[in-house]
Amino acid sequence: MAYLNSPRLTFSGKFQADPSTVNNDVEHYDNATFLPSYQDYGPSGTNGWWNPDGTGNWRLLDCVINSVTYKDGTSTADPAVDPIIGMSVMDANTRVAGKIVDLDPQQQSVSQIWGMVVRLGQAENFFLKGDFTPVGFNDIWWNRSMDLKGSPGAAATYQSVLTNLNWSIDGIDSRYLKELQAESPDQLSMKFNVDIFNQTVTDAHFTIGRLVGSIGPSSAAEPDHFTLGRQFVPDMVCQSGMYLPKTVGSYPLYMATALVREDTKQIVLDLGNCLKTKTKEGLMADDSDLKLAYNKGNGQYILLGDLPFHAPGWYETNAGLITLPLTDDQLAAVLEYPLTIVTQNNIGGISPLLAEKASYLRADQFVFRMNDGETDEINFYATYLGKPLAGKTVFCEIQDSLMNIMGQGNGTPTTATPAILAFDAQLNTDENGKAVMGIAASDPKNPRGYIDGQVYALWYYLEGEENTPFSFTVPADPKAAPIVLPATLSGVDPNNFISVLVFNSLSQEAIQNPQWEQDVQPVMQQYANLYPLMSKGIFNLADKTVVDSNAKILRFVFALPIDDPNHMPVTRDLSRDKQLMILNYLDTVIAETALQEGAITENVNQNNA
């Protein structure tokens, strides 16, 4: 089902992403060479980058429901028809905000949201509440904006599920909420796009950006983080070490997804991260006449309808979604042929701009943190024209050079990468187009020195795509000539790979009997360096006296699960072994303090006797 199905709503507003950026630079992880200036504000790549005092908070701000689509495919934007329109999409009101966290300084392009609660309603009253399952952003588009550069001009998408749903809809006569609860009572799908992010520290809207999104039904049988639908993948060109959508004619289009609804004879097309924008005006920027067509081959593009996106406020009201009705003949055709977004000139000539990738493979969860001896599973889904693709072989291999595409943080302590991930290099899809790959991690043996663990990129592809440009071997010698990336990619999404961070192991002696100076302090010092808001304003974790005197509260937050918004460290980059080491140290401090307090109490009682 997913967010493109119905009943669904669309909403728009703002978000706040307030990460600390001291840890964007790998050289800042070296305690021996860390300088106080690394906690000062500066442009990206200098000092503490653009937000060294960041809290890590992630918030939904002023998000308003603009339209609803009912199960039968009809829609309304009138609050007199459905009172949920005009109400808010909010985050938590009874606990701290969610957190925005990078996986690693050398993989900053899958920033995850942890601990976010989503509520629908007004002020303190909600009609629906759920927990947003943590996920990283995907399909980052670095040059979406026509008038902003760098991160402010970029866009990306988040898609996940809302679970642990709490419904309270008796007090509102909303057809949408009633249909949504009946259709999907236990789990919902949520997708949103983020862009126009403000990195100017002197601006009143610093750390604020634009957000539009949709919420719809979800099934446990489908993936959580993408839609089993029709996937449009542009040709890409390599510019300054990163891949950007190729300009066709005078205009580039990026990723898009469509869902063919056979029950209502409609196509729902998501252009939310597909079209360029003039961000200062907040409007879609293109004046071209875009249409949807299906491709019968040999240059035969049969038009299905116009894609109207030029009206003021269209993007915010519709969250980038367009619904096209289909005749019976059109429905039969789109189930047989791939889709294409095209333009048409004044004399009827058709130019294809963005084509559907007919055979498509995607890993559902694509960000993993692992420790020595741990195992996990990766769910792959293969489709052909949106339908399950059974009996196909999925290939997977390590390609660390993929990290270079994304333009990561400055410096590299070492490029040595021992192979410590065990997984099936080949597996087959079942009748549902699904393949499940087990993955096991072992100790990487500290290849990066002052940065814990190692990041790995798992590139995967379908049978018949063995010649994909990323199917190559990385030179074993870190001093070897760097790999020259292909200048162009045809139908390949360079973002579509799996990122795995495997942490180092510690000795059992360090874990069970930690000493402050040699074991605990270096970890706490690094955290104090990289997260100055904590060390300057709350607890200086590098100071033994401070840590010992706050051992109980620190033990509580260090023991919280990683998806709790109060989990420490906020950066989520503490290994299992280091967490156990710190907890054991704090337990020892707490026990010793209790003994001392008990002895003092006993002495006082004796003196008073």
Break the chain into its structural domains and give their ranges: 8-19+54-355, 359-502, 508-596
Which candidate, 490, 462, 466, places its Cα nearest to that of 233? 490
Burial class (CB in 10 A: 0-12, 13-18, 19+), 142: buried
Q: Supply 346's token pair.
A: 């004044």
Rounded to whole angstroms, how far apart are CA atoms 227 and 138?
13
CB 108 within 8 A of CB 408: yes
Burial class (CB in 10 A: 0-12, 13-18, 19+), 219: middle
Report the alpha-carbon angle 165-157-204, nearest 5. 95
Token pair 């990066």 in the structure block, residue: 448
Which candidate, 68, 28, 72, places its Cα nearest to that of 52? 28
pLDDT for 591: 95
For each successive 10 residues of the chain (609 residues), what is the average pLDDT?
92 96 93 94 90 95 97 96 97 88 92 96 91 96 89 95 96 96 97 96 95 96 96 90 83 94 96 87 72 95 94 91 97 98 85 95 97 97 97 88 48 54 94 96 91 91 80 48 72 89 96 97 95 81 94 95 92 95 97 80 65
Rounded to whole angstroms, how far apart are CA atoms 287 and 33?
53
Sign of CA dihedral 517, 519, 524, 525: positive
Phi, psi (degrees; rounded to nearest 5) at 283: -115, 155
Rounded to whole angstroms, how far apart are CA atoms 370 and 380?
19
The hierarchical CATH code for the domain 359-502 is: 2.60.40.10
Report the alpha-carbon angle 218-572-396, nearest 5. 60
Rounded to whole angstroms, how far apart are CA atoms 609 and 604?
9
Cβ atoms within 10 Å of 139's Cβ, excluding its own: 21
pLDDT for 1: 66
- Identity of residue 426: Q
Q: Supply 105's token pair.
A: 């300084």
Which candidate, 308, 338, 303, places its Cα nearest to that of 320? 308
CB 229 within 8 A of CB 354: no
What H or E segment, with its residue span, contains residue 580?
A: helix 576-608
Alpha-carbon distances of 446 from 235, 372, 442, 503, 555, rounded to whole Å: 38, 12, 11, 8, 26
The conformation of residue 149, written as its DSSP 8-state character, comes to -
pTM of the model: 0.93
pLDDT for 282: 64
Cβ atoms within 10 Å of 378's Cβ, excluding its own: 23
- Identity of residue 81: V
The conformation of residue 223, written as its DSSP 8-state character, comes to -
Which candidate, 472, 307, 444, 284, places its Cα nearest to that of 373? 444
Rounded to whole angstroms, how far apart are CA atoms 18 and 150?
17
- Identity of residue 149: K
Burial class (CB in 10 A: 0-12, 13-18, 19+), 173: exposed
Which candidate, 222, 159, 270, places its Cα nearest to that of 388? 222
> Where are any strands of DSSP class E within 271-372?
277-278, 283-284, 290-295, 301-306, 321-325, 339-344, 350-355, 359-363, 367-370
- Identity of residue 557: V
What H or E segment, with its residue span, contains residue 556?
A: helix 551-558
Token pair 């580039």 in the structure block, residue: 252
Cβ atoms within 10 Å of 283's Cβ, excluding its own: 17
Q: By three-state DSSP, how is residue 140 classified?
A: strand
Q: By three-state DSSP, how is residue 583 classified?
A: helix
Is the bond preceding residue 7 a cis peptide, omega within 30 degrees?
Answer: yes
